[in-house]
Amino acid sequence: MPTLRSATANSSPVATPSPAASSTPRSVKRRLTPGSAGQLPDASRHTSPHRSPHAGAGNVYTPKLLSASPKSSRKRLYGDLVLPEKPKWNPRGKSLNFPFWPAYPAQMRAVKEALHVATVPSCGLVCRDDEQNRVLEFCKACVEQEKAGSLYVCGCPGTGKTLSITKVKESLVRCADEMGMETPDELAINCTNLGNTSDIFGKILGQFLGRKKGSGKLSPLQQLQNMFSNKESAPRRMMMVIVDEMDYLITRDRAVLHDLFMLTTFPFSRCILIGIANAIDLADRFLPKLESLNCKPLVVTFRAYSKDQISDIIKHRLKVLEYDVFEPLALEFCARKVAAASGDMRKALGVCRSAVEVLEASLKDSDQEIGMVTFDHMDVALSKVFKSAVVDSILCLPQHQQMVLCALANTFQHCKKKATSLGELNKSYIEICRSTQVPAVGMLEFSNMCMVLSDQGFMKLGQSKEDKLRRVTLQIDSSDITFAFKGNRFFQKCLGLPRYANKSQLWICERSDACIVLDQSGKSTAKLFIGVLMPREVYMR
Amino acid sequence: MQKYENGSANGRQTARTLTPSLPSVTVHFKSTFPPSSAFLPVAGERPRMDLSATPSRSKSKAKSSPAKPIAASAEVQMDLCTPSKATPKRKSKSVTSPPPTTPATPSTVRRSRRLLDTPTKANPEAPVKATPTPTSKGKRAAPSPKTPAQREPKRQRRQPKKRSYYRKVVYDGGEFEVGDDVYVKRREDAESDAEDPEAEECRVCFRSGGGVMVECDMCLGGFHLRCVRPPLRRVPEGDWSCQYCEAERAGKAMERPKPPEGKRIVRTAKEKLLASDLWAARIESLWREPDGTFWAKVRWYIIPEETAAGRQTHNLRRELYRTNDLGDIEMETILRHCFVMNPKEFRDANDAGDDVFYCEYEYDIHWHNFKRLADIDDEPETKEDPSDEPYNANTDYISDTDEDSEYDEEEEPTSCSLARRNQTHELAANSRKGRIYGLQKIGIRKIPEHVRCHQKTELEKAKATLLLATLPKSLPCRDKEMEEISTFVKDAICNDQCLGRCLYIHGVPGTGKTMSVLAVMRRLRSEFDSGTLRPYCFIEINGLKLASPENIYKVIYEQLSGHRVGWKKALHYLTEHFSGGTRIGKQANQPIVLLIDELDLLLTRNQSVLYNILDWPTKPNSNLVVIGIANTMDLPEKLLPRISSRMGIQRLCFGPYNFRQLQEIIISRLKGINAFEEQAIEFASRKVAAMSGDARRALEICRRAAEFADYRTKQSGQASLTCNRGDGVVCMGDIEAAIQEVFQAPHIQVMKNCPKFGKVILVAMVHELYKSGLGEVMFDKLASTVFSWCHVNRELLPGYDTLLKICCKLGESKIILCEEGSKHKLQKLQLNYPSDDVTFALKESPDLPWLSKYL
């Protein structure tokens, strides 16, 4: 485990940096200390430290570090320059408080590794003690009494459910050892990996029988039921079955889920069933029968992380590094933002990592000395994730698509209708084109453009056999469109067009257009309509 | 290839280089000729053109009868040496008569090469295989109806300049044809290569010959039927394994019989190949260097042990993988034929001999993944014909100096291959060895090479480069995005421990998403080749090509391991692999980059496929990097929260191109070709940028415009020989026409071309609709209008049923919408298109001048 590795590097004796250990960032740094402590910023401007004679240890560098050449050496340069300002957070209190990481790519890597989703913090989970204890107590009780039980764990994504349960599993094994009980078997199943929902019984049975094939006649479920119903055949050891993403087991008749929970009610059942899913009320909603049978699972809810918890967890993860990576303010900002949005730890870690990348990029671009991730970096990273870029993306659209949006806004702005059809939209789009004297695109291309717009989430297209009858709804606020085109006279004109409430009026308008055509060809009948209905448009022409 | 100024001097050089090489050749055939006769056919030093095409018989056991044909072929050889007598016709006969075998060459001499393939045009009367060999054109220079004797000197003079390519070569007694599979020597000086036992020895009695032998399917050892305990009567059906293998499988120890003292075990070529002492290869092309040595370009086969995955349990003993690695080797190193078969052939080949191998997959040596051969061959092959290359080679053999530079490579084979390798890396377009992938496949098929070989005009060149299938040399306007992708991949790969991550790329169609990712991967590969990057495996999957979303597991597993299993099993294996259990193959810690194009197609009802794929990178030690590409911006929001949580926050947006970028893209494609007016390009790009910003559209419009211009030029060239200024250049008018064609719906054309009464009906309909102000019109009303019009304008009156029929026709083409026909004259009609379009289309119709007054 990477975090462990760096942890051991820390604990290694300071006095004896062996050449072999020189590849870890720490020891290299240590070797640099005597040199750079004395000759601070002056020497380092032009020579990268590992070439400087003061360092006197150029030969111990591994080729790997040497080959990292100009970039890394520049980074090291920063490291030396930032030296005087000490990091605020220095848990080990040693004298080697180096301004840490722009110095080495290896350190950067360690930071990223610590922030990675897959990295399991070595020293236990924080902020989930309560839930873990409850689950552990439950399991312990089951193991002690040799009685089956079921538990249901729910919570939003990214709240550490699976991770906590895995930890509980480990500690349960430890506890059982301490108590002198027989260690329970364990089986973790992720339901998304099942080809068929009822395969789960086969897996459980296989675990109980220890890879032996049971009799072929009965289904695995029946075999399990038989096994648990009489004393002789019941297995001696308890088994902890962890069913992750349990809601994938929901079938139309809910038989699988029901049978699974029912397994724990058999007199000689040895199953400790722990189901994990997102829905709070999965058991209540889908298995009302269980309540009447008195085998309703105990429910443990994992709440979304609060801002303090998020920042605690990130700090905890970064504890393995002996340097400050984030400004406390930046971390706080990130935690608040994520907690407000979803409380998803994965997202928080992703934001932190992306902030580190922002810093990396800014290091590459400019010559500033930045020692840690500041508020600004975090702001950039957060805005990448949480900002809704509707207005910007409207402004980036091709012109005709913008006009389609105008047409859509026109239709919805003044009447109460919520949806329109593609054909209607095309008509009002053509109207806009005509009034602005832009040649309109054909119907095929138009529906293509609408498709693209719906891909980008501006509108929603319904399904229909006939292309013209597809239902169109606006997905964004129409005031966004108005706002985006505020300064543009062309689109102001597009948005200011009259709207036609119903079909007959639309038809009249259409006809009045025909009138205009006729007018050009010298017909006089058109005037009536023009005078009555379309004064503005006629003058416009 | 170096150019030689002096042909004759080079000829001498050929002779010199040949002679010293003779002793080094340890030929594995017994010398049956006296040494004197060995040097007799000196004329044979210059490769002879033999006019016959001997039927190339497959000869698995041909070696076993070396003695008899020797004499025959020797005779032929002598015959060849007396060229005065040899008329083309006679010679062809004389060669066809002896069976093609391994004529034992005089041991130290390897000069019995004859080129079996000849200029077909040289003597059409000869019974030559009528394949229009590319060589033919090249040899046209040689005067045809002369005897070889007279031809020789001429060839001698000409040859040194260029390589000459052949379809079939008799070299050292074996006939080698393009497409054959051969054994190739692996080491320079291995003694054991020389020995090549005729038949395998029995594993029990260690004697060869003497009865039928049966092969064990597990250890591939041969056994006499009588030596097996219990003895067998006949060769058993189905799989059979020897008692030793059976015992081993049962876990018992059983001593295999040791060979008698003093007897050396001779391994057959097959055994040596499987012990990686030999190579197997497939001949792609054959040629002779100017210095007279014979070379072949071969495609290597490798044994499963040499792949990154190692030998796996599902590999057959005789399984080989074809690679995409090509190499140039000297014919000297080729030993003899072997036979690599596809699964079907292999199943049918029961007793085809010892040198039969099985090959189902192609192994990509760069990405370390497997592709089924059947898939590759099914693909519409835009790969250049193998005949292309010789063709060019021979055109420049005649006179064309234009293409010469291509062949100005170093003479030395090593540097030559090196040069070629580098070359492929520089040119992005060629780096995939002519195979087509990804974006290159979209769009129109490439024009075959022979169409383009005449001197191309600027316009034609422009058309070729504007094809969607042509990979551009560079990708302008996407530098930022590509930089981001490459840092993403590198970040994940470069570390000692690969951190699994996920990147979602979205953007409207035609904005270069897939192309950018592939370009980045190519660049990374060249970095990897130069050694700055760790090895990694790259898997590319297009969601559209999967029969069902679940099949993606199958495809991934197949590419990783070269083994086909059902998707459930594949899912099981993959889950184990990524969650740190048993790994697939040897490449335990190799990072895997998985590119999924059209990611949104993997959405199933419960989204479990996407969940699994996006869950793997979050496992510790998964070493998986997923790059997903799709059009929809809000795909993560549409997914279940648990999936979008696992997807991470890495997004990359490819916005639509604006007109400046489109302009740059087109100009960069047309670099060096002066076929477009500046404004024309700008017009096209502005037009496209206003509608969709789709680069494919822009290229398509430009190409179509180039076609229009080409057509125009040809027309004007035919009509009058005077050249106007606009010829040969695409101008605004062409672009306009192309845009009309691409963006305008075809209905106006249809209306313009519909029959006379159809037009009348349409106009009458517009008229009626306008008059009544309704959206639809009854048929009888329409008909009466038409009748009255026709009456007034002295047209022939149509019948009622004719009008109805025409209405139906128009209804079928959806110009108008009509109710069902049972209502007859009461059916209501509706225009499907705006009435303006009808007016526009029918305003001036030449056959009905009176129509416009009703509009």
How far, in Å, CA of B848 to CA of B763, rounded?
A: 11
Which of the given ranges, A463-472, A523-532, B135-144, B478-487, has the highest pLDDT on average? B478-487
Angle (deg, nearest 10), helices A328-341 and A375-386 = 20
Cβ of A456 and B508 within 8 Å?
yes
Q: Note whether B645 contacts A278, CB cutoff 8 Å.
A: no
A:212-251 residues touching chain B, CB 8 A cutoff: 245, 248
Distance from CA of B720 to the nearest CA of A (A): 36
Are the beta carbons of B571 and A195 separated by less than 8 Å?
Answer: yes
Cβ neighbours for B252, distance < 8 A, ≥ 6 positions apart: none
Contact status of B638 with chain A (Cβ, < 8 Å)? no
Nearest to A347 among B575, B615, B649 (CB): B649
Q: Are B803 and B757 in contact (CB under 8 A)?
A: yes
Reported as a single tens digit per residue, the pLDDT across B224-264 is 777 777 777 777 766 777 777 777 777 676 667 766 666 66
- Is a pLDDT exceeding 70 seen at residue A513? no
| For testing contact with chain A, the best of B484, B499, B513 (most A CBs within 10 A) | B499
Backbone angles phi and psi of B264, in degrees to 5: -85, 135
- Tokens representing residue A339 in the block: 């907690």
pLDDT at B382 (0 to 100): 39
pLDDT at position B629, please?
Answer: 93
Mutate to test the interface with A, among B598, B692, B766, B838 (most CBs of A within 10 A): B692
- Whole-number Å distance between alpha carbons of A510 and A508: 5
Cα–Cα distance, B269 to B265 (Å, whole number): 13
pTM score above 0.90: no
Distance between CA A262 and CA A256 in Å, rounded?
10
Question: At residue A367, does pLDDT exceed 80?
Answer: no
How far apart, in whole angstroms, are the C-alpha atoms of residue A185 and residue A211? Answer: 13
Cα A424 from Cα A430, distance rounded (Å): 10
A119 neighbourhood in chain B, CB within 8 Å:
620
| Cβ-nearest to A507 among B619, B655, B773 | B773
Tell me whether residues B612 and A193 touch, CB distance under 8 A. Answer: yes
Distance CA B832, CA B775 (A): 10
Looking at the complex, does the CB of residue A2 fall below 8 Å from at least one CB of chain B? yes
Which chain B residues touch A163 with a CB distance below 8 Å? none
Angle formed at CA B688 by CA B683 and CA B693, multiple of 5 degrees? 135
Closest-CA distance, B473 to chain A, in angstroms, reads 27
Give the DSSP H/E element, type plus range, for residue B651. Answer: strand B651-654
pLDDT over threshold 90, residue A141: no
DSSP A41-75: HHHHTTS-GGGSTTT--GGGS-HHHHHTHHHHHHH
Amino acid, res. B676: F
3-state secondary structure (DSSP) of residue A375: helix
- Tell me which chain A residues have a C-beta less than 8 angstroms from the C-beta of B650: 350, 354
Cα angle value A422/A424/A427 (rounded, 5°):
110
CA angle A220-A225-A228, nearest 5°? 125
Q: Which helix (H) or strand (E) holds B245?
A: helix B243-250
Q: Classify strands B114-115 and B48-49 as parallel, antiparallel or unpaired.
A: parallel
Q: What CA dihedral angle connects B739, B742, B743 and B748, to 10 degrees?
A: 100
Q: How far apart are CA A72 and CA A68, in angstroms?
A: 6
Residue B223: strand, helix, or coil: strand
Instruction: Measure the CA–CA gap between A523 and B714, rounded to whole angstroms.
Output: 45
Q: Are B70 and B76 in contact (CB under 8 A)?
A: no
In DSSP notation, A135-184 reads HHHHHHHHHHHT--EEEEEEE-TTSSHHHHHHHHHHHHHHHHHHHTPPPP
Q: What is the pLDDT of residue A91?
A: 29
Q: CA B10, CA B17: separation in Å to the nearest integer?
A: 10
A232: closest CA of chain B, how far (Å):
33
Report the distance separating Cα A446 and Cα B691, nearest Å. 9
Q: Residue B427 class from Cβ within 10 Å (0-12 exposed, 13-18 middle, 19+ buried)?
A: exposed
Q: Which token pair is B782? A: 């329409």
- pLDDT value, residue A498: 52
Check: CB of residue B333 under 8 Å from CB of residue B322.
no
Closest residue in B to A119 (Cα–Cα) = B620
Could you tell me which of B27, B93, B99, B19 has the C-alpha nearest to residue B56? B99
- CB B100 within 8 Å of CB B56: yes
Q: Cβ contact (<8 Å) for A118 and B619?
A: yes
Q: How far apart are CA B635 and CA B638, in angstroms?
A: 5
Looking at residue B596, what is its pLDDT?
Answer: 93
**At which residue do the structure tokens 């793997």 appear?**
B616
Provide the shortest C-alpha distance from residue B462 to chain A (in Å).
26
Inter-chain CB proximity B745 and A444 less than 8 Å = yes
Peptide bond into B100 cis (omega under 30): no
- Tell me how far apart the alpha carbons of residues A298 and A295 are, in angstroms, rounded to a whole number: 9
Element (H, E) at B593: strand B592-597
* Spans in chain B with pLDDT lower than 70: 1-161, 187-200, 208-210, 237-238, 251, 253-255, 258-266, 350-352, 375-456, 495-497, 581, 583-588, 718-727, 745
Q: Do B645 and A113 touch (CB under 8 A)?
A: no
Angle between the A345-365 and A328-341 helix axes, to the nearest 10 degrees? 140
Residues A394, A457: contact at Cβ < 8 Å?
no
> Which of A64, A69, A193, A390 to mutate against chain B (most B CBs within 10 Å)?
A193
Which residue of A191, A346, A382, A426 is the best one to mutate when testing the B interface, meaning the one whose CB has the most B CBs within 10 A? Answer: A346
Identify the pLDDT of residue B528.
79
How far does A509 lie from chain B, in Å, by closest CA? Answer: 11
Contact B213, B237 (CB under 8 A): no
Say yes or no for a CB contact (<8 Å) between A245 and B621.
no
Instruction: Please state, in angstroms and rounded to a whole number, the distance separating the CA atoms of residues B624 and A462.
Output: 37
pLDDT number for residue B136: 39
Written as one letter, the residue type at A309 is Q
Reported as a single tens digit per residue, the pLDDT across B8-58 is 334 333 333 333 333 333 334 333 344 433 333 333 344 444 433 334 333
Q: What average pLDDT does the structure give for chain A?
A: 71
Quote the tokens at residue A451.
């498709």
Span A76-105, pLDDT tens digits: 333 333 333 334 333 233 333 344 444 456
User: CB B634 to CB A507 under 8 A?
Assistant: no
| Residue B641 at interface with chain A, using a CB cutoff of 8 Å | yes
Residue of higher predicted confidence among A33 and A190: A190
3 state SS for B781-812: HHHHHHHHHHHHCCCCCCCHHHHHHHHHHHHH
**For A155, which residue in chain B has the nearest alpha carbon?**
B642
Enumerate the residues of chain A whose CB falls inside 8 A of the CB of residue B575. 190, 193
Preferred mutation among B605, B624, B631, B645 to probe A, highest tally of A CBs within 10 A:
B645
**Segment 655-694 of chain B within 8 Å of chain A by CB:** 655-656, 689-693
Q: How far is B619 from chain A (nearest CA, A)?
A: 5
How far apart CA B259 and CA B265 sit, in angstroms, is 8
Contact A195 B567 (CB under 8 A): yes
DSSP state of A522: T
Burial of A4 per CB tally in 10 Å (0-12, 13-18, 19+): exposed
Among A192, A398, A444, the residue with its CB nearest the CB of B689 is A398
Can you tell me the distance from the alpha carbon of A374 to that of A372, in angstroms, rounded to the nearest whole number? 6
| pLDDT greater than 50 at residue A166 | yes
Instruction: Indicate the CATH number for domain A390-496.
Output: 1.10.10.10
CATH number of A129-302: 3.40.50.300
| CB-CB contact of B163 with B1 (8 Å) | yes
A514 to B632: CB separation less than 8 angstroms, yes or no: no
CB contact under 8 A, B839 and A245: no
Whether chain A has a CB inside 8 Å of the CB on B817: the answer is no
> Quick one: tokens of B728?
């040969």
Structural domains of chain B sorted by starting position, each given as residue range(s) with its CATH number in brackets: 166-375 (2.30.30.490), 460-469+659-716+727-743 (1.10.8), 478-648 (3.40.50.300), 746-853 (1.10.10.10)
Does the CB of B431 have a partner CB in chain A at under 8 Å? no
Name chain A contacts of B631, Cβ cutoff 8 Å.
Answer: 452, 455
Judged by a CB distance cut-off of 8 A, whether residue B618 touches chain A is yes
Partner B contacted by A398 (CB < 8 A): yes
Q: Which two tokens stand for residue A82?
A: 């930032």
Which sequence spans correspond to the domains of chain A?
129-302, 314-386, 390-496
What six digits make up the tokens of B343? Answer: 């699964």
Give the A window 51-80 contacts with B, CB below 8 Å: none
Query: B645 and A195: CB-CB below 8 Å?
Result: no
Across the interface, do A157 and B611 touch by the CB < 8 Å criterion? no
Structure letter (DSSP) for residue B752 = H
Angle between helices B479-494 and B513-529 (to 10 degrees): 50
Beta carbon pairs, A and B, within 8 Å: 132
Residue A512 to residue A537: CA distance in whole angstroms: 10
What is the DSSP code (8-state) at residue B650? -
B853 at A interface, C-beta within 8 A: no
Give chain B positions within 8 Å (CB) of A195.
567-568, 571
| Torsion sign, CA atoms A187, A193, A197, A203 | negative
What's the per-residue H, E or C state across B246-306? HHHHHCCCCCCCCCCCCCCCCCCHHHHHHCCCEEEEEEEEEEECCCCCEEEEEEEEECHHH
Tokens of A53: 């004679």
By the 10 Å C-beta count (0-12 exposed, 13-18 middle, 19+ buried), B774 is classed as: middle
Strand B356-364 with B334-341, pairing: parallel
